[in-house]
Amino acid sequence: MQAQSNLASQAIRPQLPAVTISRETAAGAVTIAKMVAERLDHREKGDDRCPWAVFDRNLAEKVLEDHNLPTKLKEFMPEDAISPVDDVLEELLGLHPSQWTLVQHTIETVLRLAALGNVVLVGMGANLITARLKHVLHVRLVAPLDQRLRHAEQYYHLSPKDAVEFVRKHDLARRRFVRRYFNADIDDPLGYDLTINTGQLGFAETTRIIGEGVAGLKSRLEHKAA
């Protein structure tokens, strides 16, 4: 009877929520993702569920690990994609799998992580990959260019000139990646539940807003499972 009771309890346990964060370069996504995870862990302190995990730069490593691919392929992962022509030539030469193959691996890993719940997924088109999943909150972070340049200088220890090139290059790469592999516009507001100006609100307030969004989503999931 006890075993049956435990199984019944597990059967009605609600789906754990997840968060995707799309961002303009140097809008503070990595820092905010970690702050969100810490806030949610603190709120759920004492709960027996798994702690929140953040996948940002290490998401590429997770994809390679899941598919038994060498870590040296990280440089060819999405968002820093090489040109389609170079991609085809290098695939034919056996230097690495095609970008399409790596994107498919990324999709599989992102869906698996989102299904587990209690994860914050930064970049990699995660909002588009999980668009049909009702337990995922999609967030877009933006900020004025001058503030993003200043943040890039401080966070990545760049000169003002290098910060301009860094932000321009990464914004372009992410926009191109989303357009090429998902036929979508990264700036389309309909792709997100929340779009937040971190330059206006700051990191702490942005974290609070996302946390409240997750709390509301979690409440709906629990109500649905009841």
Q: What is the pLDDT of residue 49?
A: 67
Residues 116, 170: Cα–Cα separation, whole Å: 29
Domain boundaries, the chain: 15-225
Q: Report the largest interatomic distance among the alpha carbons of the chain, rounded to a whole angstrom.
A: 69
Residues 93, 69: Cα–Cα separation, whole Å: 17
Q: Would you tell me which CATH number, out of the four given (3.40.50.300, 3.40.50.12780, 3.50.50.60, 3.40.50.450), belongs to the domain 15-225?
A: 3.40.50.300
CB-based contacts of 199: which residues, under 8 Å, 6+ apart? 27, 142, 143, 144, 147, 148
Q: What is the pLDDT of residue 57?
A: 77
Q: What is the pLDDT of residue 89?
A: 37
**pLDDT per residue over 161-190, tens digit each?**
999 999 999 999 899 889 988 999 999 999
CB count in 10 Å sphere of residue 202: 13
**pLDDT per residue over 64-104, tens digit each?**
676 666 565 555 555 555 444 344 334 433 444 567 777 88
Q: What is the pLDDT of residue 75?
A: 55
